[in-house]
Chains A and B, each alone.
Chain A
């Protein structure tokens, strides 16, 4: 690489120094110097960032400044005025515009030579062919549902015959002063679904407390939100972003608080409780995004050991003191996503479902004697409960392709009372 300020080489001077320096942890360069071509591979990889919000802004900036040159970003949201205190790629004049587009344009402007492709849509709008183009996925999300979807998609994409199908997933998350970074090598290390139990469910107050003995301003607001709204239905459906709706809840909560002599109900508290707003802390986002991008760089360059195969979870606590702990989370054998991967099942499309059921009992790799079978959208046959058994029994007489409309490569999930904790996934291969 020629040194010149024109192509921004000076910018990479320190990064290249780290990458060129031999250390005990960079095995791929054991016996040779890092060549310019090898340094170049970083810029040739394509990386996907999911989310262009609090974490996403930091992640995009960090990746661009770490030498990644082809970045895609997906975010379905538009910029809200309340984002501006921490989502530093956005300005007041950007309010209402797509987060992905504005963030991409901003970073492209500031970091020479980086190409950021924005996608102003949901992650679910893309299929596996789209995700196949990336070498790595970095998630800066605030939704568990989106994480679970992305995780399941990446686990499902792993194809034994295609080394490029395995995409490392780096997942950052923050809540107030706490945060976490996780690295998942789909099918190899514990996935997001394996770790689902770690998410603390949203703290909730017993319904009866709300209904009878509120003690805190939040109780009055939740009462207005859950009980009063449904009794009176002032508007057809609750829109948490409509000031008129929030005002209605606020007034209700206020009069209830007066009745019980509870101080502290305000409009902004009402908004916060109803929308479940957890204050986002800019420094937490910065720390977690830095950690995510650090892992991305280490995986992409092998410059140092990354999270993943040994320790795979870094938790950060900044609320009472500053503390981080990195540990190894174990893979769950009965994980609904990565516990059993789809195996091919050879079937004759002219078989009836009954014949498929019979074959599962004799098939050496299955041996399921009392199977219940579903596809993603159709209950083919369920043995329990009785009402479902009766409704799905007629399917047993139908043929797989003509009668039930099953397709080649369709995934089916099979459960059996003999293996209560397990589920088996197969994809059909027509003979």
Chain B
């Protein structure tokens, strides 16, 4: 057998490495650690509310499970101002190899969100990379409310409305947020007041 142990001791001597002893139990998993790290990192402030700003808050239904939480967005700019939208976030043990699963919990009228709450955001699917973090996703969601995008439609009718007439689209957004229906589809009431 290769003399691995003596090589390790040599390496440690060279690196001035502190010894770490083994025999511990119940180790923390990598997916959890990545999320935990994200919570207070200044560079990638995944869940740090100070940097999320006043329009977004997070809530952990089970504080012991940091791989699941609810994000609330209350836009203070754009056509969706005055609404309150919640998204469920779900990270699998494969995170960050796999992107977080994100769902809008209300039925809303939005070109990039379908009636089941699925979101068309590139970094949630085709453009996800393990180097990305939750903060990137949260900023992306916020942006969808500021700038709904008619060229990547999930709700095709809403996208057509946006393309054809911004005023008409704006009226539909207002109507839908108040719980009204558009073309026979009843939307959830999401108004703050």
A residues whose Cβ falls under 8 Å from a Cβ of B: 28, 41, 45, 135, 144-145, 148, 152, 156-163, 165-166, 168, 185, 187-188, 193, 196-197, 199, 201, 203-208, 211-212, 226-227, 230-231, 298-302, 306, 309, 336-337, 341-344, 365, 370, 372, 374-379, 382-388, 391-392, 407, 409-413, 415-417, 420-423, 425, 427
Contacts and interface: CB of A to CB of B under 8 A. Distances in A.
B25 A410 contact: yes
Given A211-B156, A341-B20, A416 B26 contact: no
Interface stretch (B74-82, B125-133, B174-182): B125-133
Interface of B: 1-5, 7-8, 11, 18-30, 32-34, 36-37, 39-45, 47-50, 52, 57-60, 63-64, 66, 93-94, 96-99, 112, 114, 116, 118-120, 122, 125-126, 128-131, 152-154, 156, 159
B116 A156 contact: no
Contacts of A212: 153-154, 156, 159
B30 A193 contact: yes
Contacts of A382: 36, 39, 63, 66
B164 to A, nearest CB: 16
Nearest to A374: B36
Contact of A370 (B40, B58, B64, B120): B40
A68 B8 CA distance: 25
Given A204-B126, A299-B1, A188 B7 contact: yes
Contacts, number: 222
Given A144-B94, A384-B47, A416-B40, A427 B60 contact: no
A343 B153 contact: no
A204 B125 CA distance: 6
B27 A411 contact: yes
Q: Across the A-B interface, give the 4 residue pairs with the lowest CB-CB distance, nearest first.
A: A159-B22, A420-B41, A341-B20, A427-B24
A90 B28 CA distance: 38
Contact of B66 (A208, A379, A412, A423): A379
Given A203-B126, A413-B32, 6 more contacts: A188-B8, A196-B96, A388-B60, A413-B36, A420-B37, A420-B43
A211 B114 contact: yes
B29 to A, nearest CB: 7
Contact of A377 (B49, B59, B64): B64
Contact of B64 (A166, A188, A379): A379
B128 A201 contact: yes
A298 B26 CA distance: 34
Contacts of B44: 420
A384 B63 CA distance: 12
A156 B24 contact: yes
Contact of A411 (B1, B25, B130, B154): B25
A208 to B, nearest CB: 4
Contact of A421 (B43, B49, B152, B159): B43
A343 B19 CA distance: 8
A414 to B, nearest CB: 9
A4 B159 CA distance: 81
Contacts of B48: 384-385, 417
A168 B66 CA distance: 32
